Amino acid sequence: MTLMILGVCALVSLIVGIAMEGWPKGAHDGLGIVASILLVVFVTATSDYRQSLQFKDLDKEKKKITIQVTRNACRQKMSIYDLLPGDIVHLNIGDQVPADGLFVSGFSVLIDGSSLTGESEPVMVNADNPFMLSGTKLQDGSCKMMVTSVGMRTQWGKLMATLSEGGDDETPLQVKLNGVATIIGKVGLFFAVVTFAVMVQGLFMSKLQEGTIWSWSGDEALKLLEFFAVAVTIVVVAVPEGLPLAVTLSLAFAMKKMMNDKALVRHLAA
C-alpha cells in the first residue's frame, strides 16, 4: 500500500515539478521517490530469487528420501514421490507414512497422528482399524500398507491446500508497520488538504476584494499549481517512504545471517 501511494506521489511530483521548474530541475523529487521504490522492489525480488534457488536444491534433497516398496511383485527402493496407488509400502518404527493407505499385515503397529489430527495418544492400527494417513508416523511395530492416495489427494495434501487458500497472514511486525504508515499517511493527507484549502481560500478572498473573481491570469493559475505542489509535498514527506526499504533491508540481512546458520527462510515476511 505504501509503495502504491509513493508511486502516485512520484507521478504527481514529476508532473508538477516539471511544469513549474522545467526539466531536469523540477524532476529531482519525483525521480528520488521512483529510485526509492525501485530499490525496495529490487532488494525484495533479489532476496526472493536467491531463496527460490536454495529451496529448489532442498526439494531435490527431499526427493532422495527412499522407502521399501513392492510393485509388480518386485521389492525395490524408490522415492516417496514416485509412489502410485496399489503399491505395497514396507514401514518400520520411526518411518513417516508417505501416502494414504490400508493396513495389509504387520504387528504391534502404533501410529502417532499428532501432526495431522492433533491427538497426542497413539492409535493402534490393525485389520479392524486399517486406515493409515499420510503425514503420520509409525511409533511402534512394522507393517505393510497398500497405497490408496498420493500427493494432493491425501488427507495431508488436502489439509495443506486448505491452509494455502487462506493466503499469507501478516506478521505482527507487518501489522504494526502498516498501522503506523496508514496513520501517518492519513494525518499527512488531512494536513495537505487543509493547507491546500486555506491557500486557495486566501487566493479567492484576495480576488474577491479586488473584484476580479471572474478573471484569471496565467500567474494565478500558476499559483494554484504551486498550492497543489505544496499539498503533494506534504503528502510525500508524511508518507514514510524509507520504512519499507529499511524493513526490507533489515529482513534481508537477517535472512542472510540465518542462511549462514543453515536456516533457510522462504519468505521475507516470515
pLDDT for 116: 81
More reliable by pLDDT, 121 or 179: 121
Q: Is the pLDDT confidence value at 25 over 60?
A: yes
Please report the pLDDT score of residue 194 as a whole number: 93
Give the separation between CA 111 and CA 132, rounded to whole angstroms.
8
- What is the model's pTM? 0.45
| 84, 105, 113 from 116: Cα distances, Å | 22, 23, 5
For residue 164, what is its C-alpha cell? 494455502
- Choose the weakest-confidence range: 92-101, 164-173, 204-213: 164-173
Is a pLDDT exceeding 80 seen at residue 219?
no
Q: What is the pLDDT of residue 29?
A: 76
pLDDT at residue 126, as a whole number = 92
Given this model, what pLDDT does residue 268 score?
55
β 131-132/66-71 pair status: unpaired
In angstroms, rounded to a whole number, what is the distance separating the alpha carbons of residues 107 and 110?
9
Domain residue ranges of the chain, discontinuous segments joined by +: 1-62+168-261, 66-165
* pLDDT for 264 beyond 60: no
SS3 of the chain:
CHHHHHHHHHHHHHHHHHHHHCCCHHHHHHHHHHHHHHHHHHHHHHHHHHHHHHHHHHHHHHCCCEEEEEECCEEEEEEHHHCCCCCEEEECCCCECCCEEEEEEEEEEEEECHHHHCCCCCEECCCCCCEECCCCEEEEEEEEEEEEECHHHCHHHHHHHHHHHCCCCCCHHHHHHHHHHHHHHHHHHHHHHHHHHHHHHHHHHHHHHHCCCCCCCHHHHHHHHHHHHHHHHHHHHHCCCHHHHHHHHHHHHHHHHHHHCCCCCCCCCC
Residue 101 pLDDT greater than 60, yes or no: yes
Q: Which CATH architecture has domain 66-165?
A: Distorted Sandwich (2.70)
Confidence band (pLDDT; 50, 70, 90) for 36? confident
Average pLDDT along the chain: 80
Given a cut of 70, whether residue 147 has pLDDT beyond it is yes
CA dist., res. 86 & res. 118, Å (int) = 28
Residue type at 19?
Answer: A
The cell numbers describing 92, all together, are 518400520
